[in-house]
Amino acid sequence: MKPSILIFSQAMELGGVERSLLGLLDAIDYDRHDVDLFLMRHSGELMPYLNPKAKLLPEIPQYASLAVPMVSLVKSGQLGVLRGRLRGKLAARRFDRKHPGEKPSVTALTYSHKYTLRSMPQISDKIYNLAISFLTPHYFARERVKAKKYAAWIHTDYTALTFDRSAELAMWEGYDAICGVSERASKSFQTAFPELEGKVQTVENILPKELICKQAEESQNDMLSKGSLALLSVGRFCDAKNFDNVPDICCRLVADGLDVKWYLIGYGGDEPLIRQKIDEAGMQKRVIILGKKDNPYPYMRACDLYVQPSRYEGKAVTVREAQMLGKPVVITSYATSGSQLEDGVDGVIVPMDNAGCAAGIAALLRDPARMQQLSENCAKRDYTNSAEVEKIYTLMED
């Protein structure tokens, strides 16, 4: 009998975590392993790209109900989930009031899972060799899946977040292995939870190169720079991605004499803030929000420079995707940037502040030979990390 793996995640909306899950599913050897995939919600633009060799388990209403308005839970009779969500929401408010700070809080999300756990049914009757919880919070996979070994993934920089340490420590302690998507993400987790250091290892994101390159060949008609240099950033419109500072950075580039247009692909709660900043900077014709795109790769292929201006990251999948398509990339000096690329070889790291970021981008845009060299270096490298799947197989060993 082949070893069995259960992978638990939330949905397949547009995002780096979801695309790295596609890569993982494509990299697994299905002749040697049976794989079940459980998604809390069977929704998202990336659902059609799931590898059919992985068995998609049925959606379970209680899990799906975490993403619907609370009033809907009354109509559907999910009163246990409703009570848990209300308790979690109130507890998160109390925690955040007691622990104010500049770092974004993940407490509300953590508590929404913690306090609804008792209402969640078992996911499967099978006993798996390995259960993987691919996206935090990690309560459900550990408590509602039967497995011989459990592994949980880290996709972010824990030192950049506000979180309930005692609650999260209890959650993480239930796992045999804790896998960071970069060395820096692993180290930041060890800084936050030194007592778990022995469980932590690094498993890099695996990317589906064939799919990315195929999709990049499709046409796009709304990124027409008409002689301007085209900059592109892709990601959720949230604090971590720092898109709210793009208008000011772009304004500085224009003031420096550069004819640029900066395109933003994505969606999220920060869109009104970004639009406000565009208006304040007078960049309405320079910073262009393209919104959500099922396929961002034709835009990556068409841009002159890919920019990731993040405040913090675990490891940005979009940067790797742009490099895979042979594009020069610029990233800001967030804490994990050193594990994202080799500065000056397959990308450039610029300062986090707007003035320094603009100066670094301007210097690169004025050096076409350097941009070409970055592109050539990217083309020579393998960014799929497909060999990382072997580390996952070893997680099943005693």
pLDDT digits (tens, 9 = 90+) for 217-236: 988 777 766 789 999 999 99
User: Which of these, 240, 375, 372, 392, lies nearest to 316 by C-alpha position?
Assistant: 240
Task: Over range 256-271, report the average pLDDT.
Answer: 95
**What's the pLDDT at 103?**
85
Closest by CA position to 88, among listed 147, 55, 137: 137
C-alpha to C-alpha distances, 289 to 10, 45, 245, 247, nearest whole angstrom: 26, 19, 14, 11
Q: Which segment of 168-172, 249-253, 293-297 scores lowest on mean pLDDT?
A: 293-297
User: Pick the residue with more confidence: 348 or 225?
Assistant: 348
Percentage of residues in the chain having pLDDT higher than 90 = 80
Q: What confidence score (pLDDT) does residue 370 get?
A: 97
pLDDT digits (tens, 9 = 90+) for 137-154: 999 999 999 999 999 999
Return the SS3 of 41: coil
Distance separating alpha carbons of residues 58 and 146, to the nearest angstrom: 17
Q: Which residue has the tokens 């979801």?
A: 18
- Return the H-helix or E-strand segment holding 150: strand 146-154
State residue 285's pLDDT score. 94
Residue 190 has pLDDT above 80, yes or no: yes
- Least trusted range by pLDDT, from 112-121, 221-230, 269-278, 352-361: 221-230
- 240 CB contacts (<8 Å, ≥6 apart)? 104, 156, 160, 310, 311, 312, 313
Domain 4-206+386-394 architecture = 3-Layer(aba) Sandwich (3.40)
Pick the residue with more confidence: 7 or 76?
7
Distance CA 266, CA 232 (A): 11
- What is the pLDDT averaged over residues 313-337? 92
For the record, the structure tokens of 336 come out as 């994990």
The pLDDT of residue 226:
73
The Cα 262–Cα 365 span in angstroms is: 13
| pLDDT mean over 347-374 | 97
Residue 172 has pLDDT above 80, yes or no: yes
Tokens 């195929």: give the residue: 214
Mean of the per-residue pLDDT values for the chain? 94
Residue 380 has pLDDT above 80, yes or no: yes
375 pLDDT higher than 80: yes
**Continuous H helices in 217-290:** 246-255, 271-281
**Residues 326, 320: Cα–Cα separation, whole Å:** 10
Look at residue 398 in the predicted model and tell me its pLDDT: 60
Mean pLDDT over 329-335 rounds to 94
pTM of the model: 0.81
What is the CATH number assigned to the segment(s) 210-379? 3.40.50.2000
Confidence band for 164, pLDDT divided at 50, 70 and 90: very high
The reported pLDDT for the residue numbered 211 is 84
For residues 123-129, average pLDDT: 96
Residues forming CATH 3.40.50.2000 domain(s) in the chain? 4-206+386-394, 210-379
pLDDT at 224: 66
Q: Which residue has the higher pLDDT, 377 or 75?
A: 377
Mean pLDDT for 106-132 is: 96
| Section 1-5 average pLDDT | 93
Higher-pLDDT residue of 76 and 134 is: 134
